Amino acid sequence: MTAVVLDEDGAPVPDGAAGELCLHGPQVFAGYWRAPELTGRAFHLAAPHGGEPRRWYRTGDLCRRTADGEYVFLGRLDSQVKILGHRIETGEVEAQLLRQKGVEEAVVLAVPGEEEGTSALAAVLCGDGLDVYAVEEGLQDALPPYMIPMTFHLLDGLPLNANGKVDRRALRDRVVSGELEPFPL
């Protein structure tokens, strides 16, 4: 089994940079039965080390490779994340956020936690005159503690990608880099 870290287009990322863990080897399946579209989305055809391109299975795991060759798990690229041993659908937290007074739009992202290899939830909220303290209190009444975001970030509007959907990757990059500062709780 060979592992690499690739960007969204199937190009290798440098050591230390975040990307998707992709696998190649005899353990990787040929594809989904009678689902060529799904199979196409599940694989990259790439030559990250030069030579002939190979099919790389996209695990959906966000990670980075250290200079020592170890892989560090940073979270999931899909909406299901693992926080403190619990599997969480970020959409469930988003649904609760949208029930809170003043929240017009909400996105919940998995971001690196304080300890290496851990994940935490961050919420990005839009709405006029939001009372973030009341929003957090409302979540505490509706969700278990491990599902409550660690940070809340405010925007006037959510960025959209070329397909007109919320650009979660851009939001995550802004939160992780510190460009989008957390609301002081």
Higher-pLDDT residue of 162 and 183 is 183
pTM > 0.85: yes or no: no
Q: What is the pLDDT of residue 73?
A: 80
Q: What is the pLDDT of residue 159?
A: 94
User: 169: domain CATH number?
Assistant: 3.30.300.30
Q: What pLDDT, in 10s, does the model give residues 59-101?
A: 988 888 999 999 988 766 777 788 888 888 898 899 999 999 9
Please state the domain count of the chain: 2
User: 53: domain CATH number?
Assistant: 2.30.38.10
Q: What percent of the chain has pLDDT over 90?
A: 57
Residue with tokens 């709780």: 185
Classified as helix, coil or strand, 95 is: helix
Last-in-domain residue among 23, 43, 74: 74
Residues 39 and 60 in one domain: yes
Structural domain of 67: 2-74
- Helix ranges restricted to H, 117-160: 132-142
Residues 84 and 156 in one domain: yes
Q: How far, CA to CA in Å, does 32 sit from each of 36, 43, 57?
A: 7, 11, 12
Q: What pLDDT, in 10s, does the model give residues 12-39?
A: 999 988 889 999 999 999 898 888 988 8
Q: What is the pLDDT of residue 64?
A: 87
Residue type for position 19:
G
Answer yes or no: is 18 within a domain.
yes
Residue 31 CA to residue 101 CA, distance in Å, equals 45
